[in-house]
Structure 1
Amino acid sequence: MRIIVISVILAASAALTGFSVLAYDLFKPGRDTVPLVICTAGLWLLFALAVLLLRGVRGRAVVVLILAGSAVIGAAAMIGPPNTSTDSARYAWDGVVATAGVSPYAYTPADDRLDPLRPGWLFPAAETTDAGTPVCVGERIQTAHKTPSGDILCSALNRTGVPTIYPPAAEIYFAGVRALTGPDAQYWPLQLTGLLLSVGTTGMLLAGMRRRGIDQRHAALWAWCPLVATEAITNSHVDMLGVVFTLAAAFLVSTRRYWGGGIALGAAIATKLIPVLAAPAMLRRQGWKVTVAAMLTFLLLYVPYVLTTGIGVLGYLPGYLSEEGYEDGTRFALISLVAPGGSAIIVAGAVLAVIAVLVIWKTDPDRPWLGQLVIIGSALLILSPRYSWYALLLVPFIALSGRWEWFAVPLALTLRLLVPSLPVTRVALAAAVVLIVAITMYRAGPVVFQRRIRPVTRPPRPVA
């Protein structure tokens, strides 16, 4: 009966996932904020209920349920186009450009020289009004202008006036997908790839947990997580590929394959820079091997692009950091309360440095995931990015460690994405900090408090 109930809940979760993808998005003039918040809350409640019920399941049924749920919910997430992000349109364009033999770092999408490469679904033709004025029409379509001609450009991409920001492993991934599907396939190729990577990560977790004596039921914390379906599949964020490489690095290093772990870590950082946060937990033992392998892999992946584009491989990264408020400290939602302006950068850097040192010092090198959980989760709380998909990197380490309370971080970032209000963000992040600290103290409570409260007793002196 428990298995049947879990199956029904997973089916309901898949149905609600598909419905929310088809019915609501953030691209309408009024934004479907309220219905998206309600659907998201419903998905997280179904997720929590299914995970709780799974605790009573034993045997092979655990693996079957977890894999089936991962595949079914993920497939439902493919039922419509991206509904909260336009990043995958930029991924597709970078892939189209690369397969045409052009470096994605060399030109902006608005450059006139790229006109022969433009597929109609990414760059639809402008429509003409009764007054003869060209206008861009479409829910995901933005109005821009070509350079240097100044002609109107209707685009599904964001930031058409700047070069790409993505590192080389991501660009190779985009090119590989487009090489298989061609330029006219729309959003589904990256969604399908995200589904395959997501289910593959579920399998990797199940296998890794079995070999290390970790309860395999914890893999459901990744497999059924609403954030994974939404951001890895519906919105097809390249962070999913970074998760695969980072998790592989953690498993390799934990089995003392340091060179292989370093190569995987370097590939993860060359996919999206944020996986560098996972590195300190893998440096306790033979850390120099991991560091050297990661650096060499990262640099070697950049070599072909540096040879063709030079310093242009930095793309829009410097401008992005400034745009997001990390240059002047305004992006740090919590730290800016006590350290406004530029001082927030110093405080944030100092806190992260202290956490990194503690993680290197305290992490068990055979089980680095708890340290990775702490430093990645803490960094997300400190940096407070606007984008919930950054938290994808956190989820596999929640699963490996079983520390469900850290789901408060992706929940807070999801709320920030859907309700872009600084006061709401601060309340959500503060609540996440309180919950994590409270549950962590509860977990360690009996030992910690006994050590602190128990009176010191000395053995009686022997009687002469």
Structure 2
Amino acid sequence: MRIAVVSLLLAASAAMTAFSVLAYDLFKPGRDTVPLVICTAALWLLFALAVLALRGVRGRAVVVLILAGSVGIGAAAMVGPPNTSTDSARYAWDGIVATAGISPYAYTPADDRLDDLRPDWLFPAPELTESGDLECVGERIQTAQKTQSGDLLCSALNRTGVPTIYPPAAEIFFAGVRVLTGPEAEYWPLQFTGLLLSVGTTVMLLVGMRRRGIDQRFAALWAWCPLVATEAVTNSHVDMLGVVFTLAAVFLVTGRRYWTGGIALGAAIATKLIPVLAAPAMLRRQGWKVTVAAVATFLLLYVPYVLTTGIGVLGYLPGYLSEEGYEDGTRFALLSLIAPGGSAVIVAGVLLTVIAVFVIWKTDPDQPWLGQLVMIGSALLILSPRYSWYALLLLPFIALSGRWEWLLVPMALTLRLLVPSIPLTRVAIMTAIVVIVVMSIHRARPGIAQRVFSRRWLSLSKPGG
């Protein structure tokens, strides 16, 4: 009966995932985000119910259900094109440019010199209106101008006037996908790759947990999470590749394979930079080996692009940080309340440094995932990015540590993406912080919450209380 209940909940999650991809997106003109928010909330509820129901399942059925859910929900996420992000269009373009033998850092997508490479699905031709004007048509299609000629350019890419922002491991990945599929395949190659990577992460977690005596049911916190289906598969964010490299690094380092673990960590950082947050917890033992291997790998991956493009390999990163408000501090949802303007950057830097030192000092080198959970989760709470897919890196460490309360972090970031309201974001982040702190105290001192509330209740029950 318990297996049947979990199976039904997973089937419902897969069906709801497919429905949300087909029915809702953030690109429709005059869109109403309320239905998408409600559908997303329903997905998280089904996820929570399935995880709770799994607690009653024993034996091999646990592994079978976790894998089946990972594959089924992930496959359901492939039924339609990206619905909340256009990043995968840029991934495809970078891959197409690279397979043509051109550095993706050398030219902007709007450069006239790349006209011969443009596939119609990424750069549709402008359509003639009744008034005789040309305009760009399509939900995901943006209007831009070519760099040299100034001609109208219709594009599925965002930021066509700036060079790519992605590090070299990501660019190699994009090129590899396009070598296999060619330029005309649309969104499905990256979605399918995202599915393979997400299921592969599920397998890594299951194997790693079994070898380390961790309850394998916690792997469901990754395998069935709505964020994985949405951001790793539907929207195909390259963060998923960074997760794979980071998790591999963790298991290698805890297996005393420090050099290879450092290489995997360097590849992770050269995919999306954010995995550097996972590094402090891996430095307690033989940290110099991990550091040297990671830095060497990171730099070696950049060498071919530096030789062809020079300083251009920085791409749009400086401009992106400024655009996102990290340069003047406006992006920090909570810190901006107490440290307005540029001072928020300083406060954030100090906080993250203190947390990193604490993580290095207190982390058990044989079980670094709790330290990584604290480092990555705290960074996301402090930096409060607009993009929920940054939290993909947090999920494996929630699973390894079993600290379910940290799921409130990706939930808060998802809410921020769908409902861009600073007051609402602040409430969501504060709620996450309060729950995490309370649960952390409870885990450190079991029963403390019950004792506190019991004493409070007794004092109120006394005459005159």
Q: Given the two structures, how large is their TM-score scaled by the length of structure 2?
A: 0.96
Q: Quote how far apart the aligned CAs of 1:26 are.
A: 0.3
> What's the CA shift for 1:30?
1.9
Residue 68 to residue 446, structure 1, CA distance change in 2 (3 Å) = closer
Query: Percent identity at matched positions?
Result: 85
Tell me the residue number matched to 1:455: none
Partner residue of 1:303?
303
Contact 2:227/2:410 (<8 A) preserved: yes
> Residues 140-165 of structure 1, C-alpha deviation per residue, up to 9 Å, x if partnerless?
00000001100000000000000000
Q: Which letter maps to 2:198?
A: S
Q: How does 1:224-239 map to 2 (within 5 A)?
A: 224-239=224-239
| 8 Å Cα contact 1:126-1:137 kept in structure 2 | yes
Structure 1 residue 31 displacement after superposition: 2.5
* Map 1:217-256 → 2, pairs under 5 A: 217-256=217-256
Which letter maps to 1:98? A
1:447-458 paired onto structure 2 within 5 Å: none
Tell me the equivalent position of 1:339. Answer: 339
- State the SS of the aligned residue for 2:272: coil
Contact 2:262 2:289 in 1 (8 A): yes
Shift of 1:445: 2.2
- Of 437-446 and 47-56, the range deviating more from structure 2: 437-446
The residue that corresponds to 2:265 in the other structure is 265
**For residue 113 of structure 1, what is the aligned residue in structure 2?**
113
> What is the CA-CA distance between 1:446 and the residue it aligns to?
3.7
* 1:24 and 1:32 in contact (8 A); partners too: no
State the AA in 1 paired with 2:235. N
Taking the aligned partners of 1:336 and 1:265, their CA distance within structure 2 comes to 32
> 2:9 & 2:319 partners in 1: Cα distance?
44
Please state whether the residue corresponding to 2:28 is helix, strand or coil: coil
CA contact (8 A) 2:168 2:305 kept: yes
Q: 1:415 deviation in Å? A: 0.2
Determine helix, strand or coil for the equivalent of 2:159: coil
What is residue 3 of structure 2 aligned with on the other side?
Answer: 3
Distance in structure 1 (CA, Å) of the matches to 2:36 and 2:311:
41
| CA–CA separation in structure 2 for the residues paired with 1:117 and 1:349 | 42
**Superimposed CA distance per residue, residues 337-356 of structure 1 (whole angstroms, 9 cap, x where no aligned partner):** 00111110111000000000
Does residue 365 (structure 1) correspond to residue 362 (structure 2)? The answer is: no
Q: Is the 8 A contact 1:25 1:32 kept in 2?
A: no
2:102 match: 102
1:404 maps to what in 2? 404
Matches within 5 A, 1:2-21: 2-21=2-21
Q: 1:71 and 1:446 mapped to 2: Cα distance?
A: 36
User: 2:145 corresponds to which residue?
Assistant: 145
State the match for 2:459 in structure 1.
none
Match of 2:445, SS state, is: helix
C-alpha distance in 2 between matches for 1:350 and 1:31: 40
Residue 442 of structure 2 contacts residue 448 of structure 2 at CA under 8 Å; is this kept in 1? no
The question of whether the paired residues in 2 share the 8 Å contact of 1:277 and 1:375 is answered with yes
Which residue type is aligned with residue 249 of structure 1? A
Task: List alignment gaps of at least 5 residues for structure 2.
Answer: 450-465
**Match for residue 123 of structure 1?**
123
Structure 1 residue runs without a partner (length 5+) = 450-464
Counterpart amino acid of residue 334 in structure 2:
L
- Measured in 2, the distance between the counterparts of 1:330 and 1:256 equals 42
Q: How does 1:201-216 map to 2 (within 5 A)?
A: 201-216=201-216
- AA aligned opposite 2:214: I
Which residue number in structure 1 is paired with residue 280 of structure 2? 280
Tell me which residue corresponds to 2:461: none
**Structure 1 segment 131-210 matched on structure 2, within 5 A:** 131-210=131-210
Asked whether the equivalents of residues 221 and 399 of structure 2 are also in contact (C-alpha less than 8 Å), the reply is yes
Amino acid across the alignment from 1:260: T
Which whole-Å CA distance do the structure 2 matches of 1:419 and 1:180 have between them?
37
- Is this contact kept in 1: 2:47–2:224, CA < 8 A? yes
CA deviations 1:59-105 (Å, max 9, x no partner) are 00000000000000000000000000000000000000000000000
Deviation at 1:234, TM superposition (A): 0.2
| Aligned-partner Cα distance in 2 for 1:435–1:37 | 22
The whole-number CA distance in structure 2 between the counterparts of 1:182 and 1:140 is 21
1-side partners of 2:79 and 2:447: how far apart? 49
User: 1 CA distance for matches of 2:391 and 2:286?
Assistant: 28
- Whole-Å separation in 1 of the counterparts to 2:145 and 2:435: 47
User: What is the alpha-carbon distance in structure 2 between the residues aligned to residue 379 and residue 186 of structure 1?
Assistant: 34
Shift of 1:448: 8.1
Letter of the structure 1 residue corresponding to residue 98 of structure 2: A
- Counterpart Cα distance in 2 of 1:62 and 1:446: 27
1:447 to partner: Cα distance: 8.8
Structure 1 contact 81–187 (Cα < 8 Å) conserved: yes
Partner of 2:457: none
Q: Deviations over 1:290-310 (max 9, x none)?
A: 000000000000000000000
| Residue identity opposite 1:392 in structure 2 | L
Aligned to 2:91: 91
* Runs of 4+ residues over 6 Å off in structure 1: none
Cα pair distance change 1:446/1:63, threshold 3 Å: closer
User: What is the distance in 2 between the residues matched to 1:121 and 1:379?
Assistant: 37
SS of residue matched to 2:119: coil
Determine the structure 2 residue equivalent to 1:77. 77
C-alpha displacement of 1:32 = 3.6
Partner of 1:33: 33
